Amino acid sequence: MLLHISTQNFDLTDKIKKLVDSKLSLKLDRLINTLDPELQFANLHIEQLTQGYLVKFDMTIPPKHHIFAQSQNQILTTALTKLKERVEKQLLRFKRPNP
């Protein structure tokens, strides 16, 4: 999955990129591997607040499915883990539509 990462109030370092890759990208890749590779694109926005981090994930799956989740925590690792759980839940719902 191609993940565009943007940040606010701090710089994106290699350490944070590796953290995002290990906590989010690799785990979500297995859920969307059936999609066309051109459709495997998402945006991740990480904002540093006065007390912690706000992380937002946004992905559109044509024709009209939208995956969005956000998480806030004082620790970036925890915020990413909670975000991954919320996105996984939505992706699983997308893969198994109601009959």
Q: Domain extents for the chain?
A: 2-95
Q: What is the pLDDT of residue 99?
A: 52
Q: Taking 60 as the threshold, does the pLDDT of residue 98 lie above it?
A: no
46 forms beta bridges with 7, 55
Q: Could you give phi then psi for residue 79, rounded to 5 degrees? A: -60, -40
Q: What is the pLDDT of residue 41?
A: 84
pLDDT tens column, 19-72 = 999 888 888 887 777 667 666 789 999 999 999 999 999 998 877 788 999 999
Give pTM, 2 decimals: 0.85
Q: Could you give phi then psi for residue 97, rounded to 5 degrees? A: -65, 155
Would you state the CATH architecture of domain 2-95?
2-Layer Sandwich (3.30)
